Amino acid sequence: MKIGFIGLGNMGAPMARNLVAAGHIVTGYDTHAAMPDGVTGAISAAGAAHDADVVITMLPNGAILRTVAKEVMPALKPGAVLCDCSTVDVETARIVADEAARAGCLAIDAPVSGGIGGAAAGTLTFMAGGTSAAFEIVRPLFDIMGQKAVHCGGAGAGQAAKICNNMILGVTMIATCEAFALADKLGLDRQKMFDVVSTSSGYSWSMNAYCPAPGVGPKSPSDNGYQPGFAAELMLKDLRLSQQAAELADADTPMGQLAALLYETFVEAEDGRGRDFSAMLPRFEKRQRG
Ligand code: NAD
């Protein structure tokens, strides 16, 4: 396939590399980042989209996506698919899909989970929203860049799945970290805590696969001085998106709201920026009640 790839940062560059390695022709555009080996640079987003069968975007936020989508759509050939893999608000995903339909092309929102490591290894999970026709066209590319792609429903359903998943993740990471900090104060050994919880009803991905306590459980960013991994500010972004969606949908999400507030404090008023989101554990370690 001929693929346009717009946004070749931490995630986009390794994803594009995997598409090139699989034999696809990739033309890229980024306002700042250099082109990865094998990707031909275009001078504009529209230039990268020209003649492409699929245009993939991997951009920082919804406002940028809207601007880029406006520029790209007139350049797309009829029937081409605009596939946005960024994490953006559900509303933007739906607006872009409407605009694409009016422009005679297809759109799919397909945010990912798996982070930079998953992007490099080609093991991302894609959660997609859009028509089945669009999903089937892009599916072979999902299979190259990832290990699983779930078609979640119509436009915006991928973003909805992503923010609901990450709201659970943020909440369970905080719960796991505060429980470790409590266990410390109760004199409970961290390894024993892990041995019990990871095989009991308190288990979760945060505990079992990404344990925030250094030296406990499988290797995770806590074993590497809390270098991200998944940065606290990205978790804050996703929690804010979940609360933006909850506002619009009139959904009561008290735990998500509190998780957003705690990550906001951690990132903006404490030392959380640039650290992995599991660095909530050293944060709680230092704190007292009240
Ligand atoms: P990044 O900042 O490293 O990359 C974004 C790229 O977009 C940058 O290279 C930037 O120069 C480029 N860009 C910005 N405006 C542009 C424009 N108008 N035209 C073309 N290029 C433009 O961010 P990232 O970590 O690669 O994340 C990308 C998206 O993936 C975000 O939406 C993020 O929330 C999501 N995501 C990131 C991770 C992660 O672990 N990094 C995990 C899951 C999802």
Which ligand 1 atom is nearest residue 238's CA? 34
Compute, in angstroms, the gap from residue 284 CA to the centroid of ligand 1.
30
Average confidence (pLDDT) over 78-93: 97
> By C-alpha distance, which of 88, 258, 276, 247 is closest to 171?
258
- Residues 12-60: tens digit of each pLDDT: 999 999 999 999 999 999 999 999 999 999 999 999 999 999 999 999 9
Residue 162: active-site member:
yes
pTM over 0.75: yes
- What is the pLDDT at residue 71? 97
Q: How far apart are CA 115 and CA 83, in angstroms?
A: 18
Average confidence (pLDDT) over 59-77: 97
59 Cβ inside 6 Å of ligand 1: yes
Residue whose CB lies within 8 A of the most ligand 1 atoms, among 8, 27, 31, for a mutation test: 31
Residue whose CB lies within 8 A of the most ligand 1 atoms, among 5, 11, 124, 237, for a mutation test: 11
Q: What's the pLDDT band for 164 if we cut at 50, 70, 90?
A: very high
pLDDT of 187 strictly over 90: yes
- What is the pLDDT at residue 290? 80
- Residues 130-150: tens digit of each pLDDT: 999 999 999 999 999 999 999
